[in-house]
Amino acid sequence: MRVHQVNTAANAIFFLFLWLSASSNALLSPKGVNFEVQALMGIKASLLDPHGVLENWDGDAVDPCSWTMVTCSAESLVIGLGTPSQNLSGTLSPSIGNLTNLHIVLLQNNNITGPIPPEIGKLKNLQTLDLSNNHFTNEIPSSLGHLNALQYMKLSNNSLSGPIPDSIASMTQLALVDLSFNNLSGPVPRIPSKNFKTKSHKMALAIGTSLGAIFLLVFGIVLIWFRRTHNREPFFDVKDKHHEEVSIGNLRKFQFRELQIATHNFSNKNILGKGGFGHVYKGTLHDGTSVAVKRLKDGGAAGGVRQFQTEVEMISLAVHRNLLRLYGFCMTPTEKLLVYPYMSNGSVASRLKAKPVLDWGIRKKIALGAGRGLLYLHEQCDPKIIHRDVKAANILLDDCCEAVVGDFGLAKLLDHQDSHVTTAVRGTVGHIAPEYLSTGQSSEKTDVFGFGILLLELITGQRALEFGKAANQKGAMLDWVRKIHQEKKLDILVDKDLKSNYDRMELEELVKVALLCTQYLPGHRPKMSEVVRMLEGDGLAERWEASQGIESAGKFRTPELSSSERYSDLTDDSSLLGQAIELSGPR
């Protein structure tokens, strides 16, 4: 009997070994090549990559999980492909259909042309598909109707033509469909999504859209009435008695108890940072994933439910390699929390104080990455987002020391107007643009000013207020920078820890960009798109020469406040040097 049991156990172990061996090789071809690697290399081959973001995609690799723009599951399966806003052109390869484990595809804001591959219809696990703001042509593939798990589909701002496939009308699980700004024609099928957008240059489609909008409006009123009468909030079931996992698109809804456990009951030992919106805690989820949990102040404030819901949904749609991605959220009657990936390298502010010192090349890389992140928020995100607190402490570093802009999701979301007047100034002393401090009016140029100060922080290795104090210049800090630039003494600015390990020509270029960004009048400051181009080596000389012409012309106008007087309120309080002062709490 015992021999039989031993044999049975041995057989079980043998078959378990065979199963594990088979599963580990399930993605390998007979020649030992990973099918997902082959598919991704096919995608790379059909794209033109001017910035080299796909440079580390290697066809000889065993698996692609370490590649940029690729996200893998715990089982090392490719579940995410995200290359938004990278100026990619060329076509999208049909080999994408072989990445059958994909959950999310984000290729928006590029210059990709050609048809949308019908092979995408093979991706049965796909939940989010964003191909918006490209140059895709031909008809929408009817095979997209086979994507039964798809919740978000954005194909807007392309050159798609022909009718909308009837197969899409059967996709009852869709939460958002955006087909607007294409050349579609024909009738609009009755798509069940509550967020369906379609606007075309064709009159027939415009009429269909109007009728659809009326239908959705009536349906929305009925739905709101129904939910109110049943005392139930859409998406946010704060009671959640059964503790089931809930999500909005690709966002996970966490239970408050789960985040309590992850952060050791929000222990002070787990605090990563403190800011005007609340504290940030390091947490470890039950599966071992490290996260950063932002516990918002006044989480139970009345009237905040709708605002929080809007912010959560909008933050989740702002996806870029240089933006901190929202992982999930938690909401109860008294608490509001946001969950982000944990950044092991911390913030730029903390790394500037740590050892080993950030070398010159990494500082330049941080400047360009942060600039690209802000450019996306200002000019490529819909609706656009103004950060209003750009500083080294809000720029995080991933494992590759790539800059990731954080804390942007709690800024006011703007429509397409040029500026926005807020009721309270939010920001950190030393980084606040003069017009924002004096009038409360913020715009993209408010962030440009903060970015200029960030560049000086990267150069000096010090926070703005510390730098002003060290220079013994108080409010005249920027005047002093201009002065030493004119006197060609920029070496005085450089972080002493760098010693002589920096490029003096690049130093001068960075200082010029910083001075252009911090000009007193917002209209004189460049846009972030211009700033990024200058950091990439294009257009700085012309812009600098133009700014000097403006400065010279100003000398012949009616005398006004000197620069020192203008900026004095920004950096003049030495009592604030010991801490980052936030001028307002959460909105």
Binding residues: 294
- The first and second tokens of residue 476, run together, are 């005249």
**CA–CA distance, 413 with 171 (Å, rounded to integer):** 30
* Pair 132, 160: CB distance under 8 Å: no
- Residue 261: name the closest of 270, 274, 252 by CA: 270
* Cα 184 from chain centre: 30
Q: Which helix (H) or strand (E) holds 372?
A: helix 360-375
**CA–CA distance, 54 with 68 (Å, rounded to integer):** 7
Burial 28-42 (b: 16+ CB within 10 A, else e): eeeeebbbbbebbbb
* Pair 406, 565: CB distance under 8 Å: no
* Pair 564, 482: CB distance under 8 Å: no
**CA–CA distance, 325 with 409 (Å, rounded to integer):** 10
CA-based R_g, the chain, Å: 26
Burial 194-231 (b: 16+ CB within 10 A, else e): eebbbebeeeebeebbeebeeebeeeeeeeeeeeeeee
Asked whether the bond before 383 is cis by omega within 30 degrees of 0, the reply is yes
**CA–CA distance, 540 with 546 (Å, rounded to integer):** 10
**CA–CA distance, 499 with 487 (Å, rounded to integer):** 20
* Pair 396, 322: CB distance under 8 Å: no
Catalytic residue among 389, 407, 447, 495, which? 389
**CA–CA distance, 23 with 28 (Å, rounded to integer):** 10
Summarize the annotated binding site for ATP as residue ranges. Answer: 294
**CA–CA distance, 83 with 376 (Å, rounded to integer):** 13
- The first and second tokens of residue 437, run together, are 């401090």
389 is catalytic: yes
- The first and second tokens of residue 429, run together, are 């002393």
Burial 153-162 (b: 16+ CB within 10 A, else e): bbbbbbebbe
Catalytic residues: 389
